[in-house]
Amino acid sequence: MYLIIGYGSPLRSDDRLGQHLAEMLGNGQNIITSTQLTPELAEPVSRAERVVFLDARWGETPGEIVHEHVEPMRTTDALTHNVTPASLLAAAQELYGAAPQALLISVVGASFDYGVTFSPQIDALLPEIIKTIDEIITIFFTAKSTKASP
């Protein structure tokens, strides 16, 4: 099973990108949307072969897409309100014995002010953002596994 987790506040303009992208790209299956990552997500993450995290981020160029592989990283606050993709993978490994290959895809937003619509910059770029992220996800989900077999 592949899993897409989109997160961010739907009330903070471009911060809602993660949730919106998950809904657009997940085809209604194997997606989770949330305002933030929480410890409860460790269980569904542990059942996935691969997981993609989608989020908005601060940066200089609105619409810029950054993607990076995520490795489990144990922290002392992994089971608090400061959950990151890396600490969530570590919790999945520790609590359920499995952590999937993971990718974090972040899109630079233009506005994180209160609002329920995207900024004009992101709204104009949205079709290209969706197309590019769909391509990144497709490559990630179809790539040969890099995990060593037992």
Position 149 scores a pLDDT of 40
- What CATH homologous superfamily does 2-142 map to? HybD-like (3.40.50.1450)
- Cα–Cα distance for residue pair 53/62, rounded to 1 Å: 19
Residue 22 exposure: Cα atoms within 13 Å on the Cβ side? 28
Amino acid at 137: I
Between 115 and 148, where is the model more confident? 115
Position 14 scores a pLDDT of 98
Share of the chain above pLDDT 70, in %: 91
Share of the chain above pLDDT 90, in %: 84
Q: Is 88 strand, coil or helix?
A: helix
Position 150 scores a pLDDT of 40
**23, 25, 28, 34 alpha-carbon torsion, rounded to 10°:** -40
4-8, 16-20, 26-30, 56-60, range with the lowest pLDDT = 26-30
Position 82 scores a pLDDT of 79
Dump pLDDT digits (tens) for 36-88: 999 999 999 999 999 999 999 999 999 999 999 999 997 655 455 679 999 99
Q: What is the pTM of this model?
A: 0.92
Residue whose C-alpha is closest to residue 17's, from 7, 27, 29: 7
Domain residue extents for the chain: 2-142
Mean pLDDT for the stretch of residues 16-26: 95
